[in-house]
């Protein structure tokens, strides 16, 4: 005799709870509230987010598939460690993949895509960077920053490539938050992104890629100078 399926409401509640834990835990890892190398005990995570063990396990497994949680046999779940070597590899790979996505987007350009890039830049340029030493939460800038870079890549014609780029954006965001625990060098974010946008809208593929790579390499350089904050 076949076992009965669980009630629909029970499935829905379980899914909702797991999704909520996933979203909250994901943000706490990206923002550095849960420290690199920290063990993620199911009971403690459940208490932190007022959730049961099953939703917590589902959230941890999902984050593990995104490489935002390390799952170690017989030892449990951990916040992934960070290192300069991993950061350099991450930046190098982002430069490869996003340069290709940006090139394809420019070659496949449409009026709507151009309008979306301009609008995303407008929103980003009007969102201030809020540094921790100023008591600010930089979450909104991160949202607009990601939206701008996603707008640049949106016309590449490959959902796979966009997905990979977004996964790397997650990890880059994590490094930025960790490095900003006390201070962060001042940068001209407006100019950096405007140079990328202008070259992109001009259809200058090589210049657009060069400006994109230059921005990521500057970020890497500044983070390398703060290696003590990365605990390496």
The residues spanned by each domain of the chain are 8-78, 84-224
Q: How many CB atoms lie within 10 A of CB 231?
A: 12
Specify the CATH number of the domain 8-78: 1.10.10.10
* Digit-coded pLDDT (tens) for 2-28: 444 344 344 445 558 889 999 999 989
Domain 84-224 CATH class label:
mainly alpha
- 101, 161 Cβ separation under 8 angstroms: yes
Distance, CA of 178 to CA of 201 (rounded, Å): 33
Percentage of residues in the chain with pLDDT exceeding 90?
Answer: 60
Distance between CA atoms of 63 and 60, rounded to whole angstroms?
Answer: 5
Question: What is the crossing angle of helices 8-30 and 42-49, to 10°?
Answer: 100
Q: What is the pLDDT of residues 147-172, one digit of tens each?
A: 999 999 999 999 999 999 999 999 98
The pLDDT assigned to 74 comes to 79
Mean pLDDT estimate for the chain? 87
Measured distance CA(168)–CA(97) in Å, rounded: 10
User: Can you tell me the mean pLDDT for 167-179?
Assistant: 85
**pLDDT at residue 97 greater than cutoff 50:** yes
Question: Contact 215/98 with Cβ under 8 angstroms?
Answer: no
> For residues 187 and 166, what is the distance between their CA atoms, to the nearest angstrom?
23
pTM metric for this prediction: 0.81
């Amino acid at each position: 005799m076949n076992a009965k399926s669980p009630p629909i409401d029970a499935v829905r509640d379980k899914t909702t709870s797991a999704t909520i834990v996933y979203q909250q835990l994901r943000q706490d890892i990206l923002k550095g509230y849960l420290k690199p190398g920290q063990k993620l005990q199911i009971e403690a995570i459940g208490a932190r987010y007022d959730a049961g063990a099953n939703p917590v396990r589902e959230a941890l497994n999902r984050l593990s598939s995104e490489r935002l949680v390390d799952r170690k046999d017989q030892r449990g779940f951990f916040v992934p460690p960070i290192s300069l070597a991993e950061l350099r590899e991450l930046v190098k790979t982002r430069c490869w993949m996003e340069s290709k996505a940006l090139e394809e987007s420019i070659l496949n350009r449409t009026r709507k895509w151009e309008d979306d890039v301009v609008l995303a830049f407008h929103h980003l340029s009007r969102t201030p960077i809020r540094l921790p030493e100023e008591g600010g939460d930089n979450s909104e800038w991160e949202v607009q920053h990601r939206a701008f870079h996603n707008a640049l890549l949106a016309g590449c014609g490959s959902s796979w490539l966009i997905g990979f780029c977004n996964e790397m954006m997650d990890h880059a965001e994590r490094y930025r938050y960790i490095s900003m625990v006390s201070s962060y060098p001042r940068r001209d974010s407006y100019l950096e992104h405007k140079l990328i946008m202008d070259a992109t809208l001009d259809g200058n593929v090589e210049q657009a890629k060069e400006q994109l790579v230059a921005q990521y390499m500057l970020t890497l350089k500044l983070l390398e100078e703060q290696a003590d904050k990365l605990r390496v």
